[in-house]
Amino acid sequence: MHTTAQIRLSHDHPRWDLAAVRRDFPALEQRVHGRPLAYLDNAATAQKPYQVIEAVARFYRLDNANVHRGVHALGERATAAYEAARERVRAFINARSAREIVFLRGTTEAINLLAHGLGQGMRPGDEVVLTTMEHHANIVPWQLLRERAGIRLRVLPVTPAGELDLDRLPDLLGARTRLLALTHVSNVLGTLNRMEEIVQIAHARDIPVLIDGAQAVPHLRVDVQALGCDYYCFSGHKIFGPTGIGVLYGRAALLESLPPFLGGGEMIRRVSFERTLFADPPQRFEAGTPHIAGAVGLAAAIDYLEGLDRGAAEKHERDLLAYATARLRELPGLRILGEAPRKAPLISFVLQGVHAHDLGTVLDRRGVAVRAGHHCAMPLMDFYGLPATTRASLAFYNTREEIDRLVESVRYARELLA
Amino acid sequence: MSDDYGELRDLYQELILDHSRHPSNFRAMPDATRSVEGDNPLCGDHLRLYVQLQGERIAEISFEGSGCAISVASASLLTERIKGTTVAEAEALFHRVHRLLTTGEEAADEVELGELAALAGVRQFPMRVKCATLSWHALRAALRDEATEQITTE
């Protein structure tokens, strides 16, 4: 790949032109409540660079047509762009074949598709193993399957420091275990799980592994072959792409054996009222007109990411995380959740005497955007005995000055509220 | 501290903060006539409201749970204001508070708000209106004997 040399080169000389990067993101330039926006809610969704916004607009301006249908020029261009986006994603996560890449609405839909498809092969008493740190997107689809199919859910606990308790994993993987489904990076704690090791433990017992990569892909270079996982999913909007487009990766042989999810156009080979022959993957899982512009935008986001010096971007994120952690620790009564040695750049914290929701409101009035709440991870919140936390989640475009404003605003909130 | 946060100070008045730190009638009521659970899934606020009815009169009212300053203060103010009123008066107050929080409209012939007027600042914070109305929706469900239902703001 032509970018490899560039990345390797930059690894040796990390340098990060923050001002130039920020100029690519128009949303970052605004003021809210009279203050410059400090956008620290990137784990919820990331802002979009001009390159993505323009790619989506250009598609609608010039190439808009349906895919895999029309024989006219626009139809050909749209189909070529859509399939080029699939190839772009393949290379991005190093899948073997573009046929292993299914475009869906996002991570949530990908997990629902798998719960539906894999669930058809499961019997009452079969088990799916999850972890305490899962997002609701990787809990609720399996609970719905439990209702339908009578499967059991088993849960790998986390340690107080916020890491998976891997010593317990072998005991949870038994003869009835049909799948291990877990997150790559915790959206609440930031913990980066030791995926290669986990996949090995599961594969030694012939148990397939699904990885929810929604919080990992924005920060790490993901290689599904190196991970060895069977399924991997992520959302475009968290990697600076459009909302409503996401990716399910599945090993070709596994996707081949999966039944369809939604029925409709695009996903068939031949239909009669007696019988329908389904298309091969990935089309089998892409019923109806897909989010073509979204796929184009996602490819543009990947182009953007890979055009950056990613080694330098990651170093900048690590520096920001260390800085933010140190600055927040200066504040008395503030407790950080999640102290794994390897973390994505996000910090969840609680402030004594101040509810996260009130803190979020005060920060907002000072132009600082954070997430306050349970982060769609209520079982994890229960584990910590907390109804809510405040989460500052960073991207490579954030600055130390924004961290300073976060810290100063938390101080202000404590004076006002505690 | 800078002084350009008038709206924040309207929202977090001393009265609101006092009630959030030391809520009134904050206890379970084992012999309640009715109790209703309320949830705000957006932020995880969770409370249970208890009422004891004597005929049409709300003789006792209490709540427990956890939530942000606005939801706890609103519930605390609710219990103080509602205790001793009739079911019809409580229903009228529900509508009065709802209008105060959503439109800010005042009408001369309406029931007295009393300290509930301190909730007026919430109107400037649309994302927080549900925090303030959570206990009120629970109250309404309790009085209508929808006690088997879970109330949510979503």
Show the domains of chain B with their CATH numbers.
6-152 (3.90.1010.10)
Active site residue A229: no
Domain check: are A214 and A85 in the same one? yes
Catalytic residue (one of A181, A239, A376, A406): A376
pLDDT value at A269 more than 70? yes
Name chain B contacts of A415, Cβ cutoff 8 Å: 1
Domain count, chain A: 2
pLDDT value at A6 more than 70? no
Domain check: are A21 and A100 in the same one? no
Residue A2 C-alpha, separation from nearest chain B C-alpha, in angstroms: 45
* Tokens 């009452």 found at: A124
Q: Does B128 touch chain A (CB under 8 A)?
A: yes
pLDDT value at A2 more than 70? no
Please, are residues A158 and A132 in contact by the beta-carbon 8 Å criterion?
Answer: yes
E-assigned strands of A99-244?
101-104, 127-131, 152-156, 177-183, 209-212, 231-235
CATH number of A403's domain: 3.90.1150.10
- Examine the predicted complex and report whether its ipTM is higher than 0.95: no
pLDDT value at A9 more than 50? no
Mean pLDDT of all residues in A189-199: 97
Residue A387 C-alpha, separation from nearest chain B C-alpha, in angstroms: 6
Domain check: are A126 and A274 in the same one? yes
* Interface-testing mutation among A357, A408, A414, with chain B (most B C-beta atoms within 10 A): A357
Name chain A contacts of B43, Cβ cutoff 8 Å: 356-357, 372-374, 388
Which of A306, A335, A360 represents a domain boundary (last residue)?
Answer: A306
| Residue B35 C-alpha from the chain's centroid | 15
Mean pLDDT of all residues in A13-41: 93
* Interface-testing mutation among B5, B8, B134, B152, with chain A (most A C-beta atoms within 10 A): B8
Please, are residues A184 and A211 in contact by the beta-carbon 8 Å criterion?
Answer: yes
* Tokens 């790949």 found at: A1
Query: What is the distance between the alpha carbons of residues B79 and B83, in angstroms, rounded to a whole number?
Result: 6
pLDDT given at position A15:
80
Return the residue of A nearest to B72 by Cα.
Answer: A355
Question: Is the CB of A388 less than 8 angstroms away from the CB of B43?
Answer: yes
Q: Give me the domain span that covers residue A411.
A: 3-47+309-417
Alpha helices in A123-207 (DSSP H): 140-149, 169-172, 195-203
* Tokens 């105060």 found at: B100
pLDDT value at B3 more than 60? no
Query: What is the distance between the alpha carbons of residues B154 and B150, in angstroms, rounded to a whole number?
Result: 11
What is the reported pTM?
A: 0.92
Q: Does B131 touch chain A (CB under 8 A)?
A: yes
pLDDT value at A140 more than 90? yes
| B110 — pLDDT class (breaks 50, 70, 90) | low
Name chain A contacts of B39, Cβ cutoff 8 Å: none
Domain check: are A136 and A197 in the same one? yes
Provide the number of CB pairs (under 8 Å) joining chain A to chain B: 51
Proportion of chain A above pLDDT 90, given as a percent: 88
* Tokens 């740190």 found at: A133
Mean pLDDT of all residues in B58-87: 96
Which of A306, A326, A356 represents a domain boundary (last residue)?
Answer: A306
Q: Which residues pair with A347 in a beta bridge?
A: A392
pLDDT value at B154 more than 70? no
Nearest alpha carbon to residue B137 among B38, B30, B60: B38
**Would you mind telling me the total number of residues written for chain B in this entry?**
154
Return the residue of B nearest to A412 by Cα.
Answer: B1
DSSP string, A49-71: -HHHHHHHHHIIIII---SSS--
Domain check: are A241 and A349 in the same one? no
Name chain A contacts of B11, Cβ cutoff 8 Å: 361
* Interface-testing mutation among A32, A188, A361, A364, with chain B (most B C-beta atoms within 10 A): A361
Domain check: are A240 and A141 in the same one? yes
| Residue A58 C-alpha from the chain's centroid | 26
Domain check: are A160 and A101 in the same one? yes
